[in-house]
A and B are shown apart, each in its own frame.
Chain A
Amino acid sequence: MIVMILWNVIIAAGLISWVVVACRIWFRFPERTADDVVDFLVPVDVERAESLLDPRAESTLRSELTRREFRRLQRKRMHLYLVLVRKMAHNAAVLIEWANREAEATDGQTQQVAQELQQAAAEVRLYSLAAMVKLRFWLLIRLDSWNILPAPSLCELQEAAGVRAVESYERLKTTASVLFLGIGNRNFEQLLHNL
């Protein structure tokens, strides 16, 4: 019975994947060049993300607030971090599309930096996905309304799926900036501002 179900799941997954591929081809963004990067990025407050993940700040809040107050505040902090992670994931998606195009460049150095950007962006996407799943689970079980389990700690999200949050995003920013400078784009300051 279970084997039959698994077998049918594999066939269904194959068929659904074809629908996904068709949708991607239909809705895809045409060739993303360096000119199509800056306007599509959403600024991420990395310092804010760092402070949300800081274990010392969290333990201070834990000790200074009542249990009920802390749970409420922690829920708000989780929502805020979810917004930041979504922005990170969005920016990584935009940058990976651009890196995919630049990786086909004829210049060897540009190709290598573009490949580095591909890897950095893939890591940020992986982190974001894992962190979003975790955050949504925490929000789903509504930890602020019942006291059996301790409130989840945001510092646990410093690393997810083997990727460190702030470090990987900083690497993404730096690599994107290096590639942007490398291809001689003048809109560099705007890129930094929007990342």
Chain B
Amino acid sequence: MAILTFILRWAALPLQAILLWLLLRKRVFRTFPWFVAYTLFSVLAGSSRLVFRYYRGSLYPQVFYGTEAVYALFGFAVMYEVFRHVLRNFQRIRWFRPVFPLTIVLTVVLTGLRTATPGFRTRWAVWVLGAEMGERCLQVSMFVLLVVLVTVFGLRWRQHAFGICAGYGLYATVALLASTKFYEIGTRFTFWWGILSVGAYNCAILIWLWYFSGPVRPEPPRASQPPLSAGDLESYKEILRRVPPS
């Protein structure tokens, strides 16, 4: 059982190393630099956690919370990157632009209200965990937003932005659910909380591996002006009008 738990706990490390190799090989840093940076950091953080857990156990909590704080920052940066990528399809819709900042504000407020516990505010670990919860909340919101966009507007679900969000979405949903259950049930749920969170994160990496293992098609830079100007459209319309109906 201890070996199985060890494998499940640390399986993410080799998986993320493979993902990093795949991302670098396919030059994904050109389109998603923050996601590549996040994966690189995950490999480094995972390795240092492994070392500190088994060789310098006394320093492990500091390393854990320190890396968690950086994870949270990377998480926000990756979500912004994904949103900016998706935004390109909605450039002409003005009200779409503030969706991301509004989602951030709402999730921060909601997380602040949910995790505000009198007496613990000065402890930096609580701040880190709070930021982490906020990040999970944002990841689930972004995933839901993208699923709505894919369903309603027919955006491609096989695009990398959706893949990144799907991975985070799965992990964040399970992590939030497990954390909520942990608050309700207490320490009896510790084992399952750990298993669920780690298992979901491993599944998220498998999703990313699947998405990035496919061919990466270079997207041409989107022109600030549409390829068909108003004049072009008018002349095309004129030609179309002349076509006799069948």
Q: Please list the residues of chain A having a beta carbon within 8 angstroms of any beta carbon in chain B.
A: 3-4, 6-8, 10-11, 13-15, 17-18, 20-21, 24-25, 28, 92-93, 96-97, 100, 103-104, 108-109, 111-113, 115-116, 118-119, 121-123, 125-126, 129, 161-163, 170-171, 173-175, 177-178, 188-190, 192-193
Contacts and interface: CB of A to CB of B under 8 A. Distances in A.
A100 B220 contact: no
B93 interface: yes
B153 A96 contact: yes
B140 A11 contact: yes
A102 B30 CA distance: 22
A129 B149 CA distance: 12
B228 A177 contact: no
Interface of B: 89-95, 110, 113-114, 137, 140-141, 143-144, 147, 150-157, 166, 169-170, 172-173, 176-177, 180, 217, 219-220, 222-223, 226-228, 233, 236-237, 240, 243-246
Nearest to B223: A112
Nearest to B147: A17
Contacts of B154: 92-93, 96-97, 100, 121-122, 125
B93 A123 contact: yes
A138 to B, nearest CB: 21
Contacts of A122: 89-90, 153-155
11 contacts: A7-B114, A17-B147, A21-B157, A112-B220, A113-B227, A113-B228, A119-B90, A122-B155, A126-B153, A129-B152, A175-B228
Contacts of A177: 236, 240
Contacts of B226: 116, 119
B173 A18 contact: yes
A53 B170 CA distance: 44
A190 B246 contact: yes
A7 B173 CA distance: 11
Contacts of B95: 161-162
B63 to A, nearest CB: 29
A115 B144 contact: no
B169 A17 contact: yes
Nearest to B176: A11
A7 B116 CA distance: 14
Given A14-B144, A170-B237, 10 more contacts: A3-B110, A8-B180, A10-B110, A10-B140, A21-B157, A104-B217, A122-B89, A163-B93, A171-B233, A178-B228
Contacts of B217: 104
Contacts of A170: 237
A159 to B, nearest CB: 12
Contacts of A11: 140, 173, 176-177, 180
Contact of B220 (A20, A108, A126): A108
B92 A119 contact: yes
A153 B180 CA distance: 48
